[in-house]
Amino acid sequence: MVAGDRFSDENGVRINRLGITDPQQLAQAETDSSLLRLQRLNLQGGIPGGRYDHAHLKQVHQKLFEGVYQWAGETRADREFQGHKPTYVTGFKETMTYAPYKEIEQRLNAIGQQLGQENYLKGLSEEKFAERAAYYLDQYNHTHAFRDGNGRTLQATFVQLGQEAGYQVDFARIDPATLNRARDLAIVRPHAPEEAAKNLLALKAMFEQVISPAPGLEAERRRDPSQARPLAALSPEMKAMDARRELEVTGYRVMDIVANMPGAGNYEKGVAVGKGVEATNLNPAAIQTHLAQFQQAAEKITKHPALQGPDARQDQTDARRFRVAAEQVQAFAVMKEAVAEKSPVRLNSHEEAQAVFKQAASQVAQTLREHGKGLDAARLLEVARHVERTPFISGLNRENVSKALNAADQLGLSGSREVEKLKHSVSIMEQAPSASERSAATLGARAVGGMER
């Protein structure tokens, strides 16, 4: 059982509508229900008007799994589930990490928008369709929007995408193990960015086995080259996502290399690299804290006398990739911060301040913990829990916020965007809500709860 998994009961069994407590029985019930729904959805042509974004995939998941799970259609973000998964697809143990749950919506929307720039793969030859479908399946798979059911959700999604581009996509033509292996290889990225296409070769080959031109004049029209769009440059969001993926896959390898080097303290240094990678994965702004540490780890590997020669070529490559990725992530973080600084924080109500405080407090607390300020972080999160219930800060809560802000100031974070959000939201919530806000809150309580208590 994964700690904090709110999709499961105390025994690790997924919460379900059927009252099943045996995991094998539940797996069978899920398969029986979802496969029938998958066939029906495919026959219907998928989600009408779907744009392959956050809303689209949520609808697909709900239609496939609502017969078994009350949380069908919820993403990992809805119950704050992160998680990771091991794989041995390269012959060595690798850690597959997925998108931070807080970013699932924005990432799915970015992928859907990028796909739209390619006219949803219309007008492509079979080979080109397979190539681009492999790219997008990998992007969706890494986002891994759902706690369970990602595979079938993506199958339904790509059946619809193929149909709308003039192709039949039949995943029954391949063994599931073939698909799983291809997806895992794309996730762990054994090849460097300059050979990125090699990471998708297995997925492309898989698609070449499962696609065929759909019959009929309409399908032929959809495949006509006039429908194709030039390969669009990646959006800034997609580029930033890709840099962080590269940091993750190489970072965990660097962690293992450093931790297993002979010499005092190397194990601890390796573990620290892993923690830094995880922190940066969840919050890219953390790269400002960990960049020097990452650069030193990469240099340690490239200069280590025992890691020279042909046998250590992969270690050397991973170290170089890691350093480049870290510097790219840092560059994107600086760009994002510069854009944010041009947009001053403006809050017009206690409700807005309440939402901003919760998000900023989480980020600032994480940074405080990373710098050994655990008590200040705990105090800040306790205030955040209070604010979630009541958008008003005074007394001990105000004092604890001040202590956390002082700790952040000691770490040189006083000018950061998240600290500024925290300060501005506090300045709003130090004042009692206006009569109109209290009235709106009362009406909202009546609408939601039926009876005010």
Residues 184 and 314 in one domain: no
For the chain, the residue count is 453
Residues 118 and 266 in one domain: no
Residues 246 and 226 in one domain: no
Residues 116 and 179 in one domain: yes
Residue by residue, pLDDT tens for the chain (453 residues) are 566 799 999 999 999 999 999 999 999 999 999 999 999 999 999 999 999 999 999 999 999 999 999 999 999 999 999 988 899 999 988 889 999 999 999 999 999 999 999 999 999 999 999 999 999 999 999 999 999 999 999 999 999 999 999 999 999 999 999 999 999 999 999 999 999 999 999 999 999 999 999 999 999 999 999 999 988 889 999 999 999 999 999 999 999 999 999 889 999 999 999 999 999 998 898 999 999 999 999 999 999 998 998 999 999 999 999 999 999 999 998 887 766 555 566 677 888 888 888 888 988 888 888 778 899 999 999 999 998 888 889 999 999 999 999 888 777 676 677 888 888 888 888 888 766 555 544 433 333 333 322
Residues 293 and 214 in one domain: no
Cα angle vertex 407, ends 402, 410, to 5°?
A: 125
Q: Is residue 93 part of a domain?
A: yes
Q: Is residue 107 part of a domain?
A: yes
User: 211-213 and 167-169 as β-strands: parallel, antiparallel, unpaired?
Assistant: antiparallel
Which residues are within 8 A (CB) of 92 and not within 5 positions of it... i.e. 6 or more apart? none
Taking CA atoms, 360 is separated from 101, 128, 159, 225, in Å, by 16, 44, 40, 48
Q: Token pair 């029954």 is at which residue?
A: 172
* Token representation of residue 139: 């992007």
Residues 58 and 204 in one domain: yes
Residues 162 and 86 in one domain: yes
Closest CA to 423 of 396, 398, 388: 398
Bridge partners, residue 8, by sequence: 14
Q: Is residue 7 part of a domain?
A: no
Residues 99 and 175 in one domain: yes
Instruction: Locate the DSSP E strands across 61-100.
Output: 84-87, 94-97
Closest CA to 353 of 273, 292, 434: 434
- Helices 313-341, 417-429: inter-axial angle, 10-degree rounding: 40
Q: Report the largest interatomic distance among the alpha carbons of the chain, rounded to a whole angstrom.
A: 74
51-77 as b/e: b if 16+ CB within 10 A: ebbbebbbbbbbbbbbbbbebbbbbbb
| Helices of type H across 66-125 | 104-117
Q: Is residue 16 part of a domain?
A: no
Alpha-carbon dihedral sign for residues 381, 385, 388, 390: negative
Residues 47 and 64 in one domain: yes
Taking CA atoms, 369 is separated from 251, 279, 376, 423, in Å, by 21, 11, 8, 19
Q: Phi and psi (nearest 5°) for 274?
A: -60, -45
Per the structure, the count of domains in the chain is: 3
| Helices of type H across 189-286 | 196-199, 201-210, 217-223, 236-259, 266-282
* Predicted structure pTM score: 0.77
Q: Determine which helix (DSSP H) or strand (DSSP E) holds 139, and give its type and residue range.
A: helix 126-143
Q: Would you say 283 and 368 are in contact if contact means Cβ atoms under 8 Å apart?
A: no
Q: Is residue 22 part of a domain?
A: no
Q: Is residue 111 part of a domain?
A: yes
Residues 88 and 130 in one domain: yes
Of 341, 375, 390, the residue that ends a domain is 341
Of 318, 341, 364, the residue that ends a domain is 341
Residues 295 and 418 in one domain: no
Q: Is residue 391 part of a domain?
A: yes
Alpha-carbon dihedral sign for residues 56, 61, 67, 68: negative
User: 167-169 and 94-97 as β-strands: parallel, antiparallel, unpaired?
Assistant: unpaired
Q: Is residue 101 part of a domain?
A: yes
CA–CA separation, 169 vs 181, rounded Å?
A: 19
Residues 78 and 183 in one domain: yes
Of 188, 210, 233, the residue that ends a domain is 233
Which residues are within 8 A (CB) of 155 and not within 5 positions of it... i.e. 6 or more apart? 38, 171
Domain with 411 in it: 350-441
